[in-house]
Each structure stands twice: as structure tokens, then as C-alpha cells.
Structure 1
Amino acid sequence: MKYPELSPSDDKLLVGWLDNKNDYQTGSTPIGLLDIIFDLCKTSRYEVFRSMTPCQICYSTMESIREATFSGCGIEKYAVHSKSGERILLGSSTIIFQFEDRKYVAPDLIWHYISEHNYLPPKEFINAVYEKKKSKWSKIKGLFIRT
């Protein structure tokens, strides 16, 4: 893991910053988590980048990362489809949301990490994601604020 889970960065807690050099928690995720994460990737994109960052677990060498980034190889791997057929491209932004007094920030590749690499986010993050879904939320400047 590039950064320890729930480590602070400014006023946010980091989740899901994986790489190919460090271990990360794996396991089964609760039913519906990927659907909620899909919605977060779609609606709370923040800090959108001009380029795409491929998964460093799939592309384990710097040469393969460079090749995938510049030649377009593997881009389709990050085109995520929802159950309804909706499509988003991952690897170019972060997602940020707030629940109660804590803000969480994750790469949008978190969907890919969970679905393809069996990544299990921290329980606190999973609980916040589910509570976010149950609560009424409003979007303010890319952040979801509980109302």
C-alpha cells in the first residue's frame, strides 16, 4: 500500500492507495459495495487529471506502466460498466466524500482494486459508504455533505 489506510492528508483520510510493492487487505466485500462505489466514482470525481494512471498491480513494472499510459494499451480494462450499462473510465481522478466529521479520499481506481484484486477497504470506510447511501446528501463543490 502506497499510504497506510486512514492516514491523514490535510483534513482527509486516505483509503485505497495501492501499489505493487506493498501488501493490502483482501477479502470479500459486502453486497452492493461496488454499486455504491460506482456511484461515487461517477458523481464525486474530484481533482480530475489530464492523464490516466493505470493500476500498478496489473502493470507491475515501470516500463509496462509507461507503455500502458502512452500507447493506450489496457485502457479498456478501466472502463467500468454498471448494471444498467452506464460506463465510466477510471484512473484519472480521486473521489472524496464526507460522513459526519470525517472526509475520505480514494483514487477512483478503488472500484478496480475491489473488483479485480479482491481489495478490502477498512471497515470504517465501508461503514461510512453504506451510511452515506442511507443518508440524505447534497453535493457542494464536488464533496458530499450530509444534510
Structure 2
Amino acid sequence: MFYEDLSEYDYQDEDAFTDRESGFYALWYRPAYTRLNIGWLEAGRPYSTGTIPTVFVEKLKAVQEVQWMNVCLGVHECDLCPEDEAPEGNGEVRIPGGPGIAYAAPFLITHYVTAHGYRPPQAFIDAVLAIDLDTWAATRWPDVPFPWVPDDVERLLE
């Protein structure tokens, strides 16, 4: 599934977080922020390449350890890899950007960076580097590791 970097995300109307520890509890809401696509790569489509700071990759991996967002029942394989070696992803990542902006990336983004040399836009790199990992990692259900969840969010608690 391909989307241009920094184009407006429109794949799903709502954002949904699932509790990573239980895998069952969830919350979902219609975002009040603009979501911008980052890293939706596809074979045959050009993408930016270049060096990335190691700390960026480490932070992005750490975010993916604590945030489980828009998890789907099916999986998406990396079609940039040979078929028998392609990793799979089934969710997304949300990274807060400037006021009213969140970046929407596929869960395979770290793979794209490390295995295929993908270089996301600098604004996304800066946003990932600005995340306070200690706060995000300490977040426990019913809170989620993303700062812009509205107060009137719907929750599946049982």
C-alpha cells in the first residue's frame, strides 16, 4: 500500500489503540488532528534514501514496543524483500508532530529504514527524536502512549 510522504492519511477514519499487555482492551476515536503519511512504501515506487542517526532507529523501535495502533486482522508483507524473506506488519505507529499534526506510519517503517535505506522526512525524524520514551514506556492501560487522545474516547474495557 503506497502513499506519498507527508500526504494526508485517509486509510481509516478513526484511530484505535489496543492494550499491548492484554491484547483485548481497546479505545478508538475520530482524530481532531491531521494525520500525515510517512513510510508507506511499495515496490516500483521511488522513495528517499540516506543515512539516519542510530538514536532515531533505537527510539522508533522503542515506540513500537509500547504503542499498538490500528492493528488489523490481516498482515502486510514487505514487497521490497524477496517473497520468502519478507517480514510482516499488521499495524501502524502514531508520532505527534507540530500542533495539530500526527505522523501515520506502517509498523514496517523500522524495517524499511534498516533493511532498505529509507530516509523519512526530517520533520518525522525530529518528531521521533522529541518523544519522551520514559513517559511513553511508563504509560499503562487505560492510558495509551500517545498524547492527543480526547477525553470522550470510546473504550472497550471488558
Unaligned runs of 5+ in 2: 11-33, 149-158
* Displaced runs of 4 or more, over 3 A: 133-143
Q: Deviations over 1:100-128 (max 9, x none)?
A: 42111100100100010000000000001
For residues 95 and 142 of structure 1, the distance between their equivalents in structure 2, rounded to whole angstroms, comes to: 12
Query: Residues 39-54 of structure 1 correspond to what in structure 2 (within 5 A)?
Result: 39-54=62-77
Q: Is the 8 A contact 2:62 2:133 kept in 1?
A: no
Q: 1:18 to 1:114 in 2, by over 3 A?
A: same
Matched, 1:31 2:33: no
Identity of aligned residues (%): 28
Does residue 127 of structure 2 align to residue 128 of structure 1?
yes
> Alpha carbon RMSD of aligned pairs, Å?
2.6
- Corresponding residue SS for 2:110: helix
- Residue range with higher mean Cα deviation, 23-32 or 126-135: 126-135
Q: TM-score, normalised by structure 1?
A: 0.70
2:147 corresponds to which residue? 145
Residue 19 of structure 1 corresponds to: 42
Aligned-residue offset at 1:91: 0.5
SS at match of 1:40: helix
User: Displacement, 1:56?
Assistant: 1.3
| Shift, 1:42, TM fit | 1.7
TM-aligned CA deviation for residue 9 of structure 1: 2.1
Residue correspondences, number: 121
Q: What is the CA–CA distance in structure 2 between the aligned matches of 1:16 and 1:46, rounded to whole Å?
A: 16
- Structure-2 residue corresponding to 1:99: 97
CA distance in 2, matches of 1:9, 1:93: 14
Residue 86 of structure 1 corresponds to which residue in structure 2? none
What SS does the corresponding residue of 1:103 show, helix, strand or coil? strand
Contact 1:99 1:132 in 2 (8 A): no
**Which residue in 1 is equivalent to 2:107?**
108
Which protein has the bigger helix share? 1
- Aligned partners of 1:141 and 1:51: how far apart in 2? 26
Report Cα offsets for 1:21-68 as digits up to 9, x if no partner.
Answer: 210000110121111111121212211011221101114xxxx4xxxx
Q: Which moved more, 1:126-135 or 1:96-105?
A: 126-135
Is the CA contact 1:45–1:96 (under 8 Å) kept in the aligned structure 2? Answer: no
SS of the aligned residue for 2:131 comes to: helix
Structure 1 unmatched runs, 5+: 65-72, 79-89
CA distance in 2, matches of 1:15, 1:118: 14
CA-CA distance at 1:142 after TM superposition: 4.4
